[in-house]
Structure 1
Amino acid sequence: MAAGAARVFVSHLSGVAVFDPNGDQVGRVRDVVAMLRVGGRPPRVLGLVVEVVSRRRIFVPMTRVTGVESGQVITTGVVNMRRFEQRPTETLILGELLDRRVKLVDGGEEVTVLDVSITQLPARRDWEIDKVFVRRGKGGALRRKGEALTVEWSAVTGFSLEEHGQGAENLLATFERLRPADLANVLHHLSPKRRAEVAAALDDDRLADVLEELPEDDQIEILGKLKEERAADVLEAMDPDDAADLLSELPEEEKERLLTLMQPDDAADVRRLLAYEERTAGGLMTTEPIVLRPDATVADALARVRNPDLSPALAAQVYVCRPPDETPTGKYLGTVHFQRLLRDPPFTLVGSLTDTDLRPLPPGTPLPAVTSYLATYNMVSAPVVDDSGSLLGAVTVDDVLDHLLPDDWRETELHYGAPGMSELPEAADGRR
């Protein structure tokens, strides 16, 4: 710890970069591991859960931490690259202690844990929890009023008791800047209980984005723990193709019940996708590409492309069609690529820029043919058109990759690591 620093609050460590002695970044802090002790003694801090660039989570013992300062953690020695596995005697401070309702020893008043601070013991490398930042009153929502105070660990009780209905607002506050894929990784490593509580605390749009990045088993588990009305709302907020993929894994009765609860227009898009074989262009496509009429201008097209909710693949091109503008559209006329839009004046009509050379894909095109099409023409997205000439949707390269990679690819680390990490030898993890 930096000289003169009294303590560090754990929420401030979330996402902080971790560096080795050579100055190379090892990864980022995702949680802190502690071991509760009996008799009111402050818990011993065992180490940090660090997410390396491959999204693997490893354990870095606190005995190897030489500094926590200036928004970074400095370590010494070699790092064990084995995947972190939580032991029964261990507690994750961010994942399990934040938002807990505990009681003050003096008076028995119920308070909610907002944060926890840790400190390094004098003349040693051992660390322990020393303070708890709490808010008086029931509930853990940050927006609620109530006196906040910092107390000694020994001044509160109830951390070792199992709690049902634990909130997640303060935990989410520490991860609010994470991308959906990274937040999904956080959820995947939580206990089923905490995973359900965090999902319940997320708003529909954020939860929809995160669900799209989770492994299939986690998706089904979370959706199954939501009330049916909310599950339908979340499905509406998902991309139609992702919602269709998720619903296809549910029992027929449950799938139909959720589709009935969804808004008719959203449900119609999903039903249309469910009608196609999974590994075909129709089963892979999204029904929400950018569709413009031929009399729209380049300025109109660029305005649509700038929509931050669009994926880069969908924003790479626009599809020119006769009315109606929603899929299935009127006659498909062709594609205008983003680069072409940048080369022409804003008042130019997109109908005059349309690329008609590339044939569209029929909805029954099998996955290998879709993959070859994208690779042959260096495309990140391809139009899917039916026999009548109507645009049904677009297949994007990310959806193709989802089906080309192994089924468990979201649960396994990528085949590369942080700079220099492959040379680090195995070492004891330091947990006793």
Structure 2
Amino acid sequence: MAAGVPRVFVSHLAGVPVFDPNGDQVGRVRDLVAMLRVGGKPPRLLGMVVEVVSRRRIFLPMTRVTGVESGQVITTGVVNMRRFEQRPTERLVLGEFLDRRVRLVETDEEVTVLDVAIQQLPARRDWEIDKFFVRKGRGGALRRKGETLTVEWPAISGLSLEQHGQGAESLVATFERLRPTDVANALHHLTPKRRAEVAAALDDDRLADVLEELPGDDQVEIIGKLEENRAADVLEAMDPDDAADLLSELPEADKERLLTLMRPGDAADVRRLLSYEERTAGGLMTTEPIILRPDATVADALARVRQQDLSPALAAQVYVCRSPDETPTGKYLGTVHFQRLLRDPPFTLVSSLVDSDLVPLAPDTPLSEVTSYLAAYNLVSVPVVDESMSLLGAVTVDDVLDHLLPEDWRETDFDSGEAVGGGR
């Protein structure tokens, strides 16, 4: 190893920023590309998969990497922006090596790969994989049983064979710091086999958040490979409008079976949304806005707004309604905007602050009118009521954008860039 060049474990590289010599950020590391070699030689590290600002994934050769240290990667500044395409002879280190079950050559004992170490060869810019951090037995990164040890490349066997039933705990651990949309991006670029393994390893809430950011085809593929009770649990954890959109893509029999397995209250919300036309206020709305009774205070409202799992659009305003305070509610009285809540004393009743000038929308309002309404009044969400003025839900600007953009906008976003064979 060259003097001053430390050994690097690849789990520490996931998501780190990549900078050019001027200090400008090029993107973030999403994976590493290696090539297996014959004759017992350690795999050669070819380069890194880097996600640039446009969310395009490009290939950065290791020959253009001048430094890997202090939580960052430095390049020569010359970057080819063509989209990365994995070649048949290449392996993704994070996506394919972590959680692989291999065997120790000396004892023939099965171990699980938890991490991989890379090193730079002396006097060159070439890199290779030289060590593996493994756990004995069949447990992954989240299992505490079993001895862990670091072994050299020649000490293991079985890495070059495709493996069925590969775990995903170590790979999932590298996703912990990523936003759901970034995890979705990573899943989109995995093989269907590996995508199913990672989805199985994510907990229900995390998988629900990630599914909401995936293209429709990926959503259907993943939900179809889950055991039915697990699929129902994940659908319950999704926002009702997103769950309804996903279920609408399934065959009628599969949709009905999953709805039957869901909790009655969650299933009722989704069924209600499925009853509306897709490109209407009813089809776009969420059934879980912040709803308060007239005797609630500003302090109560701010406590609800602070909930961590709320999107910014839903947290921007609260809806005041007579009991019950779940959709469909009693009579809708009006809206209180977040800024108004910040200006009044905590003990003030929200009923004294309602904006009743904001006319709510009917559930059959077409998308074009919903869009014009949000734009005209500079709103990020708008209430939807029925003929009796009961609040049914709220349409948020992010849901409107989802339907204004082309149907394949998520695939275009993930795969943007010129598709060139080999990607480099």
Q: Distance in 1 between matches of 2:188 and 2:423?
A: 23
| Deviation (angstroms), 1:412 | 2.0
Partner Cα separation in structure 1 for residue 243 and residue 415 of structure 2: 29
1:143 is displaced (CA, Å) by 2.7
Cα distance in structure 2, aligned partners of 1:259 and 1:50: 40
CA displacement 1:90-132 (0-9 Å, x = unmatched): 0000000000000011011100001111111111111111111
Change (3 A) 1:55 1:5: same
| SS of alignment partner, residue 166 of structure 1 | coil
8 A Cα contact 1:54 1:415, kept in partner: no
Residue number in structure 2 paired with 1:294: 294
Q: Which amino acid is the alignment partner of residue 181 of structure 1?
A: T
**1:38: how far off?**
1.8
Q: Secondary structure at the match of 1:413?
A: helix
- Which amino acid in the other structure matches residue 211 of structure 1? L
- Once the two structures are superposed, what CA deviation does each residue of 1:66-96 show, in whole Å capped at 9, x if it has no partner? 1111111111041010111111000000000
Match of 2:398 in 1: 398
Partner residue in 2 for 1:421: none
Using the TM superposition, give the Cα deviation of residue 287 of structure 1 relative to its aligned residue in structure 2, in angstroms: 0.3
**How many pairs does the alignment contain?**
423
8 Å Cα contact 1:2-1:69 kept in structure 2: no
1:11 and 1:358 mapped to 2: Cα distance? 51
Q: Which amino acid aligns with 2:23?
A: G
Whether 2:353 is the aligned partner of 1:353: answer yes
Matches within 5 A, 1:282-361: 282-361=282-361
* Separation (CA, whole Å) in 2 of partners of 1:317 and 1:380: 9
Unpaired runs of at least 5, structure 1: 418-425
Q: 1:115 maps to what in 2?
A: 115
Measure the CA separation in 1 of the matches of 2:292 and 2:321.
6
Which residues in structure 2 correspond to 1:13-412 (within 5 Å)?
Answer: 13-412=13-412
**Counterpart residue identity of residue 149, structure 1:** L
Q: Secondary structure at the match of 2:27?
A: strand
One-letter amino acid matched to 1:225: K
Rounded Cα–Cα distance in structure 1 between residues aligned with 2:292 and 2:170:
43
Aligned equivalents of 1:400 and 1:145: distance in 2? 48
Separation (CA, whole Å) in 2 of partners of 1:6 and 1:159: 25
Counterpart Cα distance in 1 of 2:289 and 2:366: 20
Instruction: Tell me the secondary structure at the aligned position of residue 339 of structure 2.
Output: helix
What letter is aligned with 2:353?
A: L
More off after superposition, 236-245 vs 125-134: 125-134
Say which SS state the counterpart of residue 413 (structure 2) adopts.
coil
Could you tell me the TM-score, scaled by structure 1's length? 0.95
What letter corresponds to residue 219 of structure 1 in structure 2? Q
Cα 1:298–1:337 change in 2 (3 A) is same
Structure 2 CA distance for partners of 1:415 and 1:102, relative to 1, 3 Å: closer
Task: State the secondary structure of the residue aligned to 2:45.
Answer: strand
Measured against aligned partners, the alpha-carbon deviations of 1:117-160 in whole angstroms (never above 9, x if no partner) come to 11111111111111111111122142331111111101100011
Cα pair 1:61 1:429 within 8 Å, conserved: no
* Residue 423 (structure 1) aligns with: none
Q: Which runs of 5+ in 2 are unaligned?
A: none
Report the residue type matching 2:250 in the other structure: L
Over residues 325-374 of structure 1, what are the superposed CA-to-partner deviations in whole Å (9 max), with x where a residue is unaligned?
A: 11000000000000000000000000000000111000000000000000
TM superposition shift of 1:429 = 11
Name the amino acid aligned to 2:86.
Q
Letter in 2 for 1:49: V
- Tell me the TM-score normalized by structure 2: 0.97
1:174 Cα shift?
Answer: 1.1
Q: Which amino acid aligns with 1:273?
A: L
* Distance in 2, Cα, partners of 1:207 & 1:381: 26
